[in-house]
Amino acid sequence: MNKLCLLFKMRVVFFLCLCICFVPVAAVAGDFDGSKPLICAAVKVLECTADGKCDEVSPAGINLPRFFRINFEQEKIGGTLEGGEEKTTPIERLERIDEKLILQGGEQGLGWSMIISDSAGNMTLTAADDQVGFVIFGACTPD
């Protein structure tokens, strides 16, 4: 009888551990599903030209706010440039694929695409025209 009781207790402890481990993941994933506004930070920016040369540049160097907000309700992304100018762009497409949020849009001759992971809010933004491409790595958190 003692072995049966011990086995039952071990199963209960195992089940509780599983619940504790998976609840935070589910809560975090909900933060990046497009239901809550986000604030994102550009951490590393690469600029690549048509000749294949890539250089690390600052967000300000490509006219990108270092921090920007994603407002899913208004379908726009916006932030403030270093000089104080507000910059916004519309989100033209939003889709969830494989636990990732994908946003796309375009303006002023550039097409852009952003992907945000459900698990941690890691973000990659790409933008390009016919002569230059940008890759921006960063992170997002609920606003």
Residue 3 lies in a domain: no
Provide the residue range defining the domain that includes 131. Answer: 32-142
Residue 62 lies in a domain: yes
CATH number at residue 41: 2.40.128
The closest alpha carbon to 114, from 132, 140, 88, belongs to 140
Q: What pTM, to 2 d.p., does this model score?
A: 0.75
Quick: pLDDT tens for 98-135.
Answer: 989 999 999 888 999 999 998 889 999 999 999 999 99
The closest alpha carbon to 132, from 43, 25, 57, belongs to 57
Helix (H) or strand (E) holding 27, with range, is helix 2-31
Q: How many CB atoms lie within 10 A of CB 88?
A: 14
Quick: pLDDT tens for 59-83.
Answer: 999 989 999 999 999 999 999 998 8
Considering its fold, how many domains does the chain have in total? 1
The closest alpha carbon to 41, from 83, 15, 80, belongs to 80
E-strand spans in 1-143?
38-49, 54-57, 67-71, 76-80, 86-90, 93-97, 100-107, 110-117, 122-128, 132-142
Residue 47 pLDDT exceeds 90: yes
